[in-house]
C-alpha cells in the first residue's frame, strides 16, 4: 500500500507521518520518504552559486511506501517560503501535486483551518529555528501575535491545497480535528482511509493534543 501525505506545513504532518510509520502493519516492508520533493539541502558553496536542490527519487515499484510532502516545492526548485504571490505559481504547484498523487493508493490532504495560528507557528519556528521542538507563544510580541505581512504565504499555500482537493475530489483533513483529542474521530479517520494501522495507541500518542509543539490552551 502506497500512502502519500500532502500538507501545507505547521499542521501536524510530521506527527501524522511518524504516527503512521510507527503503528502500521509490516513496518519493515515499507520505504519511508520525508519531504522528498523538498530535496536535499544544498552546501554553502552551492547556495552561493544558486544551484538547484538535489532530488530524492521515490522507487514507486515498491508496493509499500509512506511519504510526506509540503505542497510548496517542485523537485529541483527552491521552496517559495513567503514569496508565493502569483496565480501562475499556485496553478503550477497544484497541477504538479495532482499528478504526483496518482502514484499513491491513499492520499491524505492535511492543513490547518485557522490561518492566524498557522502563520504564528511558521513565524515562531523561523525566528527560533525550532521546527520539531516545543515553542513558546510570546503574547507580548505583536509581530508574532498578528504577523499580518506573512498571512499571504498561508493563504496562497492554502489555495494550492484547496485546488488539489477540488481536482482530486478528496476531503481535507484539518489539524484542529486530528489533534482535538477525539479518539472517535481518529478511529473514523483510519476506517475512512483504510489505513493499515496495527496499534492505535501508538498512532494516538503522536496525535494526542499533549504532543503539540505549541501547548497554549486556546489552540
Tell whether 217 is covered by a domain. no
Q: How far is CA 210 from the centre of its chain?
A: 19
For residue 16, give Cα distances in angstroms to 34, 167, 204.
12, 23, 9
Report if residue 146 sits inside a domain.
yes
Looking at the domain assignment, is residue 108 inside a domain?
Answer: yes
Q: Is residue 199 part of a domain?
A: yes
What pLDDT, on a 0 to 100 scale, did the predictor assign at position 173?
A: 97
Q: Give the pLDDT score at 107.
A: 98
Query: Do the domain assignments include residue 218?
Result: no
Count of the separate structural domains present in the chain: 1
Q: Say if 186 falls within a structural domain.
A: yes
Q: Which of 70-84, 139-153, 173-187, 191-205 has the lowest mean pLDDT?
A: 139-153
- Residue 28: give its domain's CATH number: 3.40.50
- Nearest-angstrom CA–CA distance, 180 and 136: 20
In a domain, 10, yes or no: yes
Checking if the pLDDT of 206 tops 60, the result is yes
Residue 108 host element (H or E): strand 106-111
Q: Is a pLDDT exceeding 70 seen at residue 16?
A: yes
Q: Please report whether residue 219 resides in a domain.
A: no
Domain that holds residue 138: 2-211
Amino acid at each position: 500500500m502506497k500512502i502519500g501525505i500532502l500538507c501545507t506545513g505547521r499542521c501536524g504532518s510530521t506527527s501524522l507521518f511518524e504516527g503512521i510509520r510507527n503503528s502500521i502493519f509490516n513496518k519493515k516492508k515499507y520505504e519511508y520518504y520525508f519531504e522528498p520533493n523538498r530535496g536535499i539541502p544544498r552546501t554553502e558553496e552551492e547556495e552561493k552559486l544558486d544551484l538547484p536542490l538535489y532530488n530524492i527519487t521515490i522507487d514507486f515499484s515498491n508496493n509499500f511506501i509512506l511519504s510526506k510532502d509540503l505542497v510548496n516545492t517542485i523537485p529541483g526548485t527552491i521552496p517559495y517560503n513567503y514569496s508565493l504571490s502569483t496565480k501562475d505559481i499556485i496553478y503550477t504547484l497544484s497541477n504538479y501535486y495532482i499528478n504526483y498523487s496518482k502514484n499513491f493508493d491513499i492520499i491524505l490532504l492535511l492543513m490547518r483551518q485557522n490561518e492566524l495560528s498557522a502563520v504564528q507557528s511558521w513565524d515562531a519556528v523561523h525566528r527560533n529555528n525550532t521546527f520539531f521542538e516545543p515553542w513558546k507563544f510570546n503574547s507580548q510580541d505583536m509581530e508574532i501575535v498578528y504577523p499580518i505581512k506573512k498571512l499571504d504565504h498561508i493563504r496562497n499555500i492554502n489555495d494550492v491545497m484547496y485546488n488539489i482537493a477540488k481536482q482530486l475530489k478528496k476531503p481535507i483533513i484539518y489539524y484542529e480535528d486530528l489533534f482535538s483529542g477525539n479518539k472517535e474521530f481518529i478511529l473514523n479517520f483510519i476506517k475512512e482511509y483504510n489505513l493499515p494501522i496495527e496499534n492505535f495507541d501508538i498512532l494516538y500518542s503522536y496525535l494526542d493534543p499533549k504532543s503539540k509543539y505549541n501547548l497554549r490552551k486556546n489552540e
